[in-house]
Amino acid sequence: MQRRLLVAVLAGCFAGSSVAESPSAEPTAADEARRAPPDVPLAEVLRPDTDPSAFWISEKLDGMRAIWGGRELRFRSGRRVPAPAWFLAGLPGQPLDGELWLGRGRFDELSGIVRRAHPADDEWRAVRYRVFELPGGDGTFTERSERLKALAESAGVPWLGAVEQYRVTDRRELLAKLDAVIHAGGEGLVLHRASARYAAGRTGDLLKLKPWQDAEATVVGHEPGRGRLAGTTGALRLRTLEGREFKLGSGLSDALRRDPPPVGTLVTYRYQELTKDGIPRFPRYWRMHEEF
């Protein structure tokens, strides 16, 4: 059965390492304000003539992007991750780029754990840091990937590991891998060109493949529910980054309907395609925006 594959942009790897700072040190508000997101590689759309055999393939993990600078761990927004000192102490001095991850379909649980100002050791014991890139590293992606695996293995801690990378021979095999990941509860696939050098900016050397699109929008209001949903939120009124407004009711849990994201919150939603007016078709709430 043919599937319309929609390819979304993957925010890539952060360049450079962080300033010298003890992993357990508490930065001031001024320190945090100076942490602007660095330039990152951005993916291009997968074209029909793209040869997937030239890429390493991995699963797009349902986690939160985190960049290790050798002394501190930061979200893709530049904010510090309030991880326990023992978690950071197990990471190598080499800068790393990867995902904090609990497992498929556990993003909301993970988000609650890693954003807590005072980390709970028992919760963090279940968190894994799955890495896929060496920011600013030399050589091809194949060479960087091998060094990455060696670094993760030599660290000798259970929470650090390299994301599994594999090759496919053609597009048919790629789509079969995508189907397997989706049916198992995953998000999609990431493609890294094997011969690619590390570089920031938009590039066709990094692609993300999923059977849907996703985007962000700001909550600008709440529509009251009717019938079974009376007394709760029936739908969110959202405004896209381009200024278009629409209502979204699908995907909201009963808990979210009772306590919806407040006005001004940035949320992520999924959709199939855009109308001629730029409005998403069949939008479905996914989660709070992951860039913290």
Answer yes or no: is 264 within a domain.
yes
Point out the domain boundary residue: 182, 210, 238. Answer: 210
- The secondary structure of residue 236, as a DSSP letter, is E
122 & 183 share domain: yes
How far is C-alpha 129 from the geometric centre of its chain's CA atoms? 13
* Last residue in a domain, options 188, 210, 232: 210
Task: Report the DSSP beta bridge partners of residue 67.
Answer: 74, 97
pLDDT in tens, 116-156: 999 999 999 999 999 999 998 999 999 999 999 999 999 99
Beta bridge partners of 162: 131
Q: Is 247 found in the same domain as 282?
A: yes
pLDDT of 229: 92
Measured CA to CA, the distance from residue 47 to residue 40 in angstroms comes to 22
* pLDDT value for 154: 96
**Is 166 in the same domain as 245?**
no
Sign of CA dihedral 196, 200, 202, 206: positive
- Average pLDDT of the residues in 58-82: 91
Q: Is residue 194 part of a domain?
A: yes
Residue 135 counted as domain residue: yes
Q: Nearest-CA neighbor of 42 among 6, 78, 11?
A: 11
Q: Is 269 domain-assigned?
A: yes
Average pLDDT over residues 92-104: 94
- Could you tell me where the DSSP H helices lie in 188-253? none
242 and 206 part of one domain: no
User: What is the band of 273 on the pLDDT scale with cuts at 50, 70, 90?
Assistant: confident
Residues 13 and 76 in one domain: yes
Shared-domain flag, residues 14 and 67: yes
Q: Verify that 170 and 222 share a domain, yes or no.
A: no
Evaluate whether residue 1 is within a structural domain.
no
Is the domain of 193 the same as that of 250?
no
Residues 6+ apart with CB under 8 A from 288: 111, 261, 265, 266, 267, 268
pLDDT at residue 27 greater than cutoff 80: no
In-domain check, residue 158 = yes
Query: Containing domain of residue 229, as a range?
Result: 213-288
Are 49 and 147 in a shared domain?
A: yes
Is residue 217 a part of any domain in this protein? yes
| Residues that are catalytic | 60
Computed over its alpha carbons, how large is the radius of gyration of the chain? Answer: 20
**Cα 262 from Cα 220, distance rounded (Å):** 8
Domain count of the chain? 2
3-state secondary structure 158-199: CCEEECCCECCCCHHHHHHHHHHHHHCCCCCEEEEECCCECC
Judged against a pLDDT cut of 60, whether residue 244 lies above it is answered with yes
CA distance 179 to 94: 35
| Token duo for residue 122 | 């028992």
- Closest by CA to 127, choosing from 95, 90, 153, is 90
* Closest to 96 (Cα-Cα) out of 140, 54, 138, 152: 152
Q: What is the CATH number of the domain that holds 188?
A: 3.30.470.30
Please identify, among 167, 190, 210, the residue that sits at the C-terminal boundary of a domain.
210
Q: What is the pLDDT of residue 78?
A: 85
Which tokens belong to 263?
């006005």
Same domain, 141 and 281: no
What was the pLDDT predicted at 289?
76
Q: 45 and 123: one domain?
A: yes
Helix (H) or strand (E) holding 128: strand 128-133
Same domain, 173 and 199: yes
Which CATH number fits the domain that encloses residue 274? 2.40.50.140
Whole-angstrom distance, CA of residue 82 vs CA of residue 181: 31
How confident is the prediction for the chain on average, in pLDDT?
A: 85
Retrieve residue 50's tokens: 């793209």
